[in-house]
Amino acid sequence: MALVAVGLPLLIHLLNLRRPQKVAFSTLAFFRDLKNTTIRRIRIKRYLLLLLRLLAIACLAMVLARPFLPPGLTGGGNSQAPALNAVLLDNSVSMSRIGTQGPLFEYAKEIAGRINEAAKDEDRYMLQLTNGEADYGNIMNWANMKKALEEAEVKSAGNFMENRLTGLLETIKEAPYANKSIYILTDAQHSQLAQAGSELDMEGVNLTVIDVGSAEVQNTSITSVSTSTNMIGVDIPFTLNVEIANQSEVAAVNQFVSLEFEGQAAGQYSVSLEPGERRTYAFEVTPSQVGSARAVVSIEGDGFQPDNQYFVSLQVPETRNVLWVSEQENRSGFISYTGAVLQAAGENDAQLDYDQTNIENFDVADLSAYDVVLLDGVKEIPEYIFSPLQEFVQTGGGVMFFPAEDGNLRNYNDFLGQFNAGRYVGLQGEYGSFNSVATADELLEDHPAFAGLFEREGEQQLRFTNPEIYYYYRLNTSSNGTGFSLLNMNNGDPLVYEKQVGQGTLVLSAAGNDPGWSNFPVKALYAPFYYRILLYSASSDQGGFADFTLGQPFAWTGNVDPESVVLQVDDDTIKPGTAVVSSGVRVSYPAEEWTPGWIKIQDDDGQVITLAANLSQEESVFTKAEQEEAENLLSNESLVWVDTADMNEEQLQNEIVASGFGREIWSWFMLAGLLFLITETLVSIGYRAETVE
């Protein structure tokens, strides 16, 4: 019909088109004076009028067709076909804030209802939540969708937005619907959208982000908890440092931060912070028993309550177990002082216990039973133990390495390469010569391993008798990662170097532990120095925090019975997945439904280990993402962004309709048709081509 309507004026034009006839009356002055240019102008006028009339009728045909502009100029389907509308509803704690339309979460559910008002009876829905357990995910009609929305609530649980969005996308792509749309209803919290993922294939699916608004609220949160030392033991006092931050644009006044340790109040401070300010508060605590020492940090008087508690679990070991690995035979003729240090520590301090083995029997050692492995004077480290030792350190263990005087340099460097710790580049001096080539004169006294070791008055400089070094391996350290030179020589070379790897630590020495290398063993600093380093290396896991950040699968490795181990979370007893690895038993669980609190790991042997679970610190930062930033985070430049802040109900409804099927643009063609008709009239009146000279 549209083609007939367009062709009608063309047909009339052709019927009325007459060729000029030749007139034999040459005496008529009118035809004699008619110029060729005038005839050409008449033709131009006729063609111009024809074009304007055709365009006007075409616009009328487009108005009758009621066209849509596809959302994002892509993915638009047949507007009359059934649609599948998937809603990803942000139920993080930030959605509990109250905006101009009321609680943000309730307003988001109201907007979800408006999506139905713009839909057809045949349309279907999906619902998924960003935080907590994935309770939904099936395709449903509106009645079931409405019921699911009523049941949904804000949950103080981990953020799994990337998994949920990916799951919705996979399901919606396989569904047999012509129109497919995903709506993300959120407060546009930057940290939330940053979790959405950037490798999403949205082809054929309309993506709409609806910003439900924001709310100005004062929020003070606990950003970190640290210790003055990780060498924790029974009846040994230490300091817990609690950092508090004002995450809002409103000053924090008349607030308090308090600490409860092992069920007893450990102190309280008054808090006053300017917007964006951070401050650290120190609490001194003393564990009274071995095992898991629990602490809770609380904020009072804050305007935003869901993040006002922070759970802390510290592992207080009864003893720290050392595996001393050496060569089967002593080839140097000198006696290593390592045994003397370990024996003295075991007799005078119940915190250390050790077992001795040789490198040939290392493969039978159960690494999960030890906190630190001490490789002492080993000529060559077997390659088959590289990977077990690397995993041991990654999961919180410690490794100390003392080279042999005739060690395999290439083998040593291959071992160091597993930890990205640098490499030995040569030898200095002569073993057993007793001729000094350097002295150790610079100690990193601020390192946690040496906390409380030295007593000084005021700014008094630390002084100690400098050990003389006769022979050592030159160590070039790596600039990647975190590392410290614990003891430096006067020529700038490190004598003892620490490399932090994963949750554990690797300590490398440039010299061995017998008199052929140096006179360090006879200096007063030697015994406390290596004892503290050994205790520090053994404390990387058991002597520190045992925590878990919600929003990721739970994984923990330790020495438990894989058959009987269970997780106790609130009132639920969970049988986790287990796998035996070189460093113990790996325990795993999805942990989607967990909320902040305590996680107990226990088995039939009576072992109970408590971990602390907390929300990610990013949940407390309410910084909003703008449209351009959201497009970058989601890697989708064609997403539809709906900001509800300055919209009334009608405007919001129109935006939802436009985001789902596209925007109706028939009014554009009606306006264009009127303009063409007006132009046609003006041309007919004002364009005078017939002129006679």
Q: pLDDT by residue (tens digit) across 337-386?
A: 888 888 776 665 557 888 899 888 887 667 888 889 999 999 999 999 99
Residue-wise pLDDT for 644-659, tens only, equals 887 888 777 777 776 6
Say what the pLDDT of residue 18 is: 56
Higher pLDDT, 12 or 403: 403
Please report which confidence band the pLDDT of residue 74 belongs to, taking 50, 70 and 90 as the band edges: very low
Say what the pLDDT of residue 382 is: 92
Please report which confidence band the pLDDT of residue 323 belongs to, taking 50, 70 and 90 as the band edges: very high
Say whether pLDDT at 23 is over 60: no
Q: Residue 519 burial by CB count (10 A; 0-12/13-18/19+): exposed, middle or buried?
A: middle
Among the listed residues 365, 262, 379, the one whose alpha carbon sits nearest the alpha carbon of residue 321: 365
Say whether pLDDT at 298 is over 90: yes
Residue-wise pLDDT for 512-526, tens only, equals 988 999 999 888 888
Pick the range with the lowest mean pLDDT from 179-183, 419-423, 595-599, 626-630: 626-630
In angstroms, rounded to a whole number, what is the distance separating the alpha carbons of residues 556 and 545?
13
Say what the pLDDT of residue 353 is: 86
The answer to whether the predicted template modeling score (pTM) of the entire model surpasses 0.85 is no
Question: What percent of the chain shows pLDDT beyond 70?
Answer: 85
Query: What are the b/e assignments for 581-591, b being 16+ CB within 10 Å?
Result: ebbbbbbebbb
Strand 252-261 relative to strand 264-273, pairing? antiparallel
Say whether pLDDT at 662 is over 70: no
Type of residue numbered 136: Y
Say what the pLDDT of residue 542 is: 46
Please report which confidence band the pLDDT of residue 96 belongs to, taking 50, 70 and 90 as the band edges: very high
Phi then psi for residue 250, to 5 deg, are -115, 135
Paired with 423 in beta bridges are: 476
Give whole-number Cα distances, 519 to 112, 285, 465, 512, 516, in Å. Answer: 76, 39, 11, 11, 8
Please report which confidence band the pLDDT of residue 20 belongs to, taking 50, 70 and 90 as the band edges: low
Domains and CATH numbers, the chain: 2-67+667-686 (no CATH), 71-213+623-662 (3.40.50.410), 218-317 (2.60.40.10), 320-538 (3.40.50.880), 548-621 (2.60.40)
Say whether pLDDT at 397 is over 80: yes
Say whether pLDDT at 219 is over 90: yes
Residue-wise pLDDT for 138-173, tens only, equals 899 999 999 999 999 999 999 998 889 888 888 888
Say whether pLDDT at 402 is over 80: yes
Say whether pLDDT at 667 is over 80: no
Say what the pLDDT of residue 142 is: 93
6-15: long-range contacts, CB 8 A cutoff, minimum separation 24: 6/54, 6/57, 6/58, 6/61, 8/57, 9/50, 9/53, 9/54, 9/57, 10/50, 10/54, 13/46, 13/50
Say whether pLDDT at 26 is over 60: no
Say whether pLDDT at 549 is over 80: yes
Please report which confidence band the pLDDT of residue 447 belongs to, taking 50, 70 and 90 as the band edges: confident
* Residue range 415-431: mean pLDDT, rounded: 94
Q: Which strands, in side-by-side order, build the sheet including 572-574?
A: 547-549, 608-614, 597-602, 566-569, 572-574
Tell me the pLDDT of the chain averaged across its residues. Answer: 84
* Residue range 470-497: mean pLDDT, rounded: 92
* Residue range 82-101: mean pLDDT, rounded: 91
Say what the pLDDT of residue 46 is: 78
Please report which confidence band the pLDDT of residue 693 belongs to, taking 50, 70 and 90 as the band edges: very low
* Residue range 260-279: mean pLDDT, rounded: 95
Say what the pLDDT of residue 11 is: 64
- 366 Cβ neighbours under 8 A, 6+ residues apart: none
* Residue range 529-541: mean pLDDT, rounded: 81
Please report which confidence band the pLDDT of residue 279 belongs to, taking 50, 70 and 90 as the band edges: very high
Q: Residue 321 burial by CB count (10 A; 0-12/13-18/19+): exposed, middle or buried?
A: middle
